[in-house]
Chain A
Amino acid sequence: GAGVSQSPSNKVTEKGKDVELRCDPISGHTALYWYRQRLGQGLEFLIYFQGNSAPDKSGLPSDRFSAERTGESVSTLTIQRTQQEDSAVYLCASSFKTGSMAFFGQGTRLTVV
């Protein structure tokens, strides 16, 4: 596609429910990143993919968070049993290769009530 696309743009969910956030990177981009920004804070690294592999999962806050990428394309970030502290804007970015300029999606604003 023309840019990085994320869906949904907004998600309100009840505490304890599972949510799936989707990222469609720019076609041909091998690297894909997930970040989140909680209110008043900076961009927090969650995970990145090189191809379909995730060399570094150290940023995932807990075992309730998981992510996968298939076909060196779409990535899904899943949060199980959501908690109020999971409320944040979740941003996805992709780049042609590791280290090159990253292009960001518009983000998914997740609100856990």
Chain B
Amino acid sequence: ILNVEQSPQSLHVQEGDSTNFTCSFPSSNFYALHWYRWETAKSPEALFVMTLNGDEKKKGRISATLNTKEGYSYLYIKGSQPEDSATYLCASLTAGGTSYGKLTFGQGTILTVHP
């Protein structure tokens, strides 16, 4: 994996459904993995910053896991609500060289939760 890739590109679920999506990132020179939520007409808002292999973070109904050895992270939403509708972005930060500090984003997963 050379770039940050997210799947699926978009997702439609019904209110109350649980859902998850994937972020794949370069595992070499890994430093940190970020998740952001971007609602329409607003700025991206940080959800999680994860650095350690095996990390699990939780914020309300949203949780995330991290596997730095294989280069992937999952974001889970339990009991989706219409207000969860947004684009979910992950971003990878690698260590070393001039790229250190460069936060590279995936294309995002657009989640729509139908009432």
Q: Distance in Å from the Cβ of B2 to the closest Cβ of chain A?
A: 14
In the complex, identify which listed stretch (A14-22, A64-72, A76-84, A98-106) lies at the interface while the others stay far away.
Answer: A98-106
User: Chain A residues with Cβ under 8 A from B106's Cβ?
Assistant: 42
Q: What is the size category of the interface that chain B forms with chain A? A: 20 to 34
- Whether, in the assembled complex, B1 has its beta carbon less than 8 Å from a beta carbon of chain A, the answer is no
Q: Distance in Å from the Cβ of B55 to the closest Cβ of chain A?
A: 14
Interface residues of B (CB under 8 A from A): 31-32, 34, 36, 42-46, 49, 51, 89, 91, 93, 98-108
User: Chain B residues with Cβ under 8 A from A13's Cβ?
Assistant: none
Interface residues of A (CB under 8 A from B): 4, 31, 33, 35, 41-43, 45, 48, 50, 55-56, 58-59, 91, 93, 98-107
Check if B105 sits within 8 Å of A104, measured CB to CB: no
Q: How far is the CA of A41 from the CA of B110 in the complex (A)?
A: 12
A-B contact pairs, 29 of them (CB 8 A): A31-B101, A41-B107, A42-B107, A42-B108, A43-B44, A45-B102, A45-B104, A45-B105, A48-B102, A50-B101, A55-B98, A56-B99, A56-B101, A56-B102, A58-B99, A59-B102, A91-B44, A93-B44, A99-B31, A99-B32, A99-B49, A99-B51, A99-B101, A100-B49, A102-B44, A102-B103, A104-B44, A104-B45, A106-B43
